[in-house]
Amino acid sequence: MSQILDSYRNLHLGDRWDGAPKPVRWLALLLVVAFAYYLPYLNILPFAYIRTDLASTGSDWASVLFLVVVYMIVAVGLNVVIGLAGLLDLGYVGFYALGAYSIALFGSPSSPVVVSLQERFGFSDTWAVPFAACIPIAICMSLVAGVFLGAPTLRLRGDYLAIVTLGFGEIIRITARNLDNVTNGAAGITQVPVPPGPEVDGRAFFNTIDAERWYWLALTVLILIIFLAKRLEHSRVGRAWLAIREDEDAAAVMGVAGFKFKLWAFAIGATLGGLAGLLFGSKQQYVEPNAFMVQLSFLFVAMVVIGGSGNIYGALLGAFLLTYLPERFREFVDWRPFAFGVALVAVMIFRPQGLVPSRRRAREFEDRRHEAEEAAADV
């Protein structure tokens, strides 16, 4: 295994990519993006074997692609919090749930909140907040929740912060389940609005049957988010996050306002989580509390850690693997927890920095490995 890893390191793929001419890199990126948009119609053998609907018991291919992209958005947001700022957030599913409930509460005619507004202002029974207006509402609610959670808790570090955020995720779910007058409790909210669009064959453009349209919408949002996240990573804020992650005390001595930048990371991560939840809730057209169990938070963290904490592309790879593989091999569903555990242990032993780590993190782990070997030799 170590020989395989050494061979992989010797390829220097990152250096080769950086050394390639700019037109070549743009052409490669355009081909990747074009292939991603084409994926729902992939039927060319042998590539079609990656589809999840080959067997009669398989999952709808376009729906799986949509879920993969939504979880990729989540992974990019969580990578800001964990990978860049070094804050262990175990309650990220809370922001994801807030995004989904935001559009359900204000966009569904059957929501208790909308019904209350209809009665108070004399609106018709079919009135609800339009989908376009629900987007800023979901973003604001997630962002405010991130600030409210982060303001009193970001002075904590390590395990203490993880425990507090874990509690936040559960508080959101339990509150949604018990506030019957606001969220309909365990019954959930139906008629969640979808994006506007022309009718095709007598159906709304975004409907529950044509899942590839939802995939293309989510993919477009993901590409935009990746572009913004990369710009943010290389900005002054991104460099401050890296300094805090490496050594918060040293960063404070150098004049980095640790609390302010950690709060930025929490707010931005929460916003992206809420946006992913909005897409999920709108696609499902139904939101209920059991869709946001605490296990989902652990899965989100595993995506970032296994893929490569601190590297956007690593987080994307982790989200893809942990979402796609269970759907592709549904016939082994009983072995899924065992395989998941073995994969986690194997990655932690042979690849602790993740499958595709950032170069900075890879160098850090390499230095630590050399230090450990030297210490062992001295003994």
299 against 159, higher pLDDT: 299
What the block records as the tokens of 287 is 């939101």
Check: pTM over 0.85? Answer yes or no: yes
Residue-wise pLDDT for 195-219, tens only, equals 988 877 778 888 888 899 999 999 9
Q: Give buried/exposed letters for 294-308 (b at 16+ CB in 10 A, else e).
A: bebbebbbbbbbbbb
Confidence of residue 245 (pLDDT cuts 50, 70, 90): confident
pLDDT value at position 78? 93
pLDDT value at position 6? 59
Amino acid at position 368, single letter: R
**pLDDT, mean of residues 18-31:** 86
Q: How far apart are CA 350 and CA 2, in angstroms?
A: 8
Q: Are 143 and 77 in contact (CB under 8 A)?
A: no
Q: Are 88 and 82 in contact (CB under 8 A)?
A: yes
H-helix or E-strand spanning residue 289 = none
Q: Are 244 and 256 in contact (CB under 8 A)?
A: yes
Confidence of residue 248 (pLDDT cuts 50, 70, 90): confident
Q: How far apart are CA 181 and CA 202, in angstroms?
A: 35
H-helix or E-strand spanning residue 323 = helix 312-328
pLDDT greater than 70 at residue 17:
yes
287 against 364, higher pLDDT: 287
Which phi-psi region, left, alpha or beta, contains residue 192 (left: φ > 0; alpha: ψ -120 to 50)? beta
Which range is least confidently modeled, 142-156, 303-317, 355-369? 355-369
pLDDT greater than 70 at residue 51:
yes
Residue-wise pLDDT for 272-309, tens only, equals 999 999 999 999 999 999 999 988 988 999 999 888 88
162 against 75, higher pLDDT: 75
pLDDT value at position 153? 81
Q: Are 196 and 278 in contact (CB under 8 A)?
A: no
Confidence of residue 326 (pLDDT cuts 50, 70, 90): confident
Three-state SS at 353: coil
User: Which residues have a Cβ under 8 Å from the Cβ of 249 and sit 6 or more positions away?
Assistant: none
pLDDT greater than 80 at residue 40:
yes
Confidence of residue 12 (pLDDT cuts 50, 70, 90): low
pLDDT value at position 149? 86
pLDDT value at position 255? 85
Determine the number of helices (DSSP H) and then strands (DSSP E) in the chain.
17, 2
Three-state SS at 286: strand
What string of DSSP letters covers 244-270?
Answer: HHH-HHHHHHTT--HHHHHHHHHHHHH
**pLDDT, mean of residues 132-138:** 93
245 half-sphere exposure, CB direction, 13 A CA radius = 22
What string of DSSP letters covers 187-217?
Answer: G-EE---------BTTB-SS-SS-HHHHHHH
pLDDT value at position 378? 67
Residue-wise pLDDT for 330-339, tens only, equals 777 778 778 8
263 against 378, higher pLDDT: 263
What's the mean per-residue pLDDT of the chain? 86
pLDDT greater than 60 at residue 2:
no
pLDDT value at position 333? 73
pLDDT greater than 90 at residue 357:
no
List Cα–Cα distances, 331 to 46, 315, 340, in angstroms. 20, 26, 15
Residue-wise pLDDT for 78-131, tens only, equals 999 998 888 888 889 999 999 999 999 999 998 999 999 999 988 888 889 999
pLDDT value at position 112? 92
Confidence of residue 10 (pLDDT cuts 50, 70, 90): low
pLDDT greater than 70 at residue 9:
no
